[in-house]
Amino acid sequence: MPLSDAEAALLIALRAQAGGTVHAQLARQVVLWLLLAQALASAQHLGPPHAARRAPRDARPRRQRRSFRESLAGRRPRG
């Protein structure tokens, strides 16, 4: 099975980090960056969609105002 470019770079950096030279320290930093990049790439959210949030209480449709002489029960006013 062929390796991807990131896997090949990770293997090369893992082999080069042995020892106490400057190149080994740089290889350790490369390994850390590659592992961080893989962790961030795999952290995508693949779960089900979330339920919709409730609307705020003050977001209801406004009622229309009644005219001054309009009855409350919907019947015709007397007299």
Does residue 3 contact residue 12 with C-beta atoms inside 8 Å?
no
Does residue 24 contact residue 17 with C-beta atoms inside 8 Å?
yes
| Residue 70: predicted pLDDT | 56
| Residue 50: predicted pLDDT | 75
Distance of CA 25 to the CA centre of its chain: 34
Q: Tell if the pTM clears 0.85, that is, is over it.
A: no
Residue range 52-79, pLDDT digits in tens: 888 777 766 666 766 666 556 666 666 6
| Residue 26: predicted pLDDT | 87
Where does 17-75 have alpha helices with state H? 22-41
